Amino acid sequence: MARLRILALLPILLLLGACNAIVLSPPGDIAAQQGRLVMISTGLMLVIILPVMALTVLFAWRYRQSNKAAIYKPDWDHSTQLELVIWSAPLLIIICLGAITWASTHLLDPYRPLGNASAGKAAGAAVKPLAVEVVALDWKWLFIYPEYGIASVNELAAPAGRPIDFRITSSSVMNSFYIPALAGQIYAMPGMQTRLHAVMGTAGTYEGFSANYSGAGFSGMRFAFHSQDGAAFDKWTAEVKAAGGMLDRSGYLALERPSENEPVRHYGAVDPGLFAAILNMCVEPGKMCMSEMSAIDAKGGLGLEAVGKTLPLTYDKYARRGAVFGPARSYVASLCTPDDIRGEAPRPVADPAAPNASPLRGAGLPWPGLLPSRFQLPASASRPSNS
């Protein structure tokens, strides 16, 4: 009967043998340090857990009701030696875990630039990190290489041994950028930029995916990470550039629309300011960027006069991205920039006595009648057009 039980366990052991231990034994330097940290922390905790579990079984067996030889002391209530063991051992473990956690929190900070190109090898000042701009879309990944002026969808490549500087954001909802073989997961959030410094010491192809549920197509948010030698990476970038295709703002707006299980796609040219516009939520023309709004707020805002001239900064992702739910299509007032007015004829100066709305553009919105009466434009004054 015992042999049959052992045979019944064999299929389970075979299944466990197929498990991928990439998290505990990854090739990436940062991921490897994180894996060792998990093993050290687990080992320190087992120093307490294993004796407690063993003593629990021992006490239950020794002081069972049928064991008449066990010493019976109903009035016993204190032992100095036992108190020292009970409190000193966990305290030492907590001190060790605290020290390791404090040191690793600083050494493995994802925002901290790397000092090594691969495990045990110094990168040196001459090694320039590879900048990669990451955008989590619904439901795909966009990777922009500003140094090479190229981009790819659902495919990431980097030279082995060269540090990578990831700048990560999202187009709509929160996601999580995760390549288990490279480093730990980093959240991608709209309107915010997170950073990750990592390096892969060996060549190979590894899986990356989103580790945070983000909607119906979440399961398809997977991509291949190719760690290549220098020659292979140069060949990959040349092939992407030769593939052609321009990812400008209008192309990004089309790409941003929700889609599932997208194939790999390459762009041989990219708008240099695209990632900054995505981060500031102002890819669509006529929208005020978050950086512009922050600059206004940092100087105290526009005061009461701005009540009827600016609208709250909102990201009309539902209507613009073709969703069937959400509010109606809307715009946010935008500031004029030199790019907007380049080539236009000079405009006449407005009456100084009247409120001047020339620095702002309503982007097609009707003139707001929200100003108090003492700030309303005179009837004879012409309303500013696209200034």
Mean pLDDT of 174-183: 92
Mean pLDDT of 192-204: 92
What's the number of CA atoms in the CB half-sphere (13 Å) around residue 262? Answer: 23
**The sheet that has 204-210: what strands, in order across it?**
155-159, 222-228, 204-210, 175-179, 183-188
User: What pLDDT is stored for residue 201 in this prediction?
Assistant: 86
Q: In the chain, how long is the greatest CA-to-CA distance?
A: 109
Query: Looking at the domain assignment, is residue 3 inside a domain?
Result: no
269 with 298, same domain? no
160 with 219, same domain? yes
Phi, psi of 306 (to 5 degrees): -80, -5
Query: Looking at the domain assignment, is residue 275 inside a domain?
Result: yes
Q: Of the candidates 73, 108, 143, which is a domain's last residue? A: 108
pTM value is 0.69
308 with 270, same domain? no
Query: Looking at the domain assignment, is residue 68 inside a domain?
Result: no
139 with 51, same domain? no
123 with 33, same domain? no
93 with 144, same domain? no
257 with 136, same domain? yes
148 with 245, same domain? yes
Taking 60 as the threshold, does the pLDDT of residue 125 lie above it? Answer: no
User: What pLDDT is stored for residue 245 in this prediction?
Assistant: 87
Taking 60 as the threshold, does the pLDDT of residue 382 lie above it? Answer: no
**Where residue 72 falls among pLDDT bands split at 50, 70, 90?**
confident
Query: Looking at the domain assignment, is residue 10 inside a domain?
Result: no
295 with 275, same domain? no
**Where residue 197 falls among pLDDT bands split at 50, 70, 90?**
very high
User: What pLDDT is stored for residue 19 in this prediction?
Assistant: 59
Closest by Cα among 210, 235, 183 to 37: 183
CA–CA separation, 198 vs 187, rounded Å?
Answer: 15
Parallel, antiparallel, or unpaired for β 183-188 and 175-179? antiparallel
For residue range 234-251, list pLDDT tens digits in order. 999 999 999 888 999 999
What's the number of CA atoms in the CB half-sphere (13 Å) around residue 33? Answer: 23
∠ CA 46-108-106, rounded to 5°? 95
For residue range 14-42, list pLDDT tens digits in order. 555 555 677 777 888 888 898 899 899 99
Q: Is 270 left (phi over 0), alpha (psi -120 to 50) or beta?
A: beta
Range of the domain at 27: 17-57+81-108
Of 177-186, 215-224, 267-276, 292-301, the poorest mean pLDDT is in 292-301
Query: Looking at the domain assignment, is residue 65 inside a domain?
Result: no
Radius of gyration of the chain (CA): 30
Number of domains in the chain: 3
97 with 128, same domain? no
User: What pLDDT is stored for residue 169 in this prediction?
Assistant: 95
123 with 248, same domain? yes
Query: Looking at the domain assignment, is residue 139 inside a domain?
Result: yes
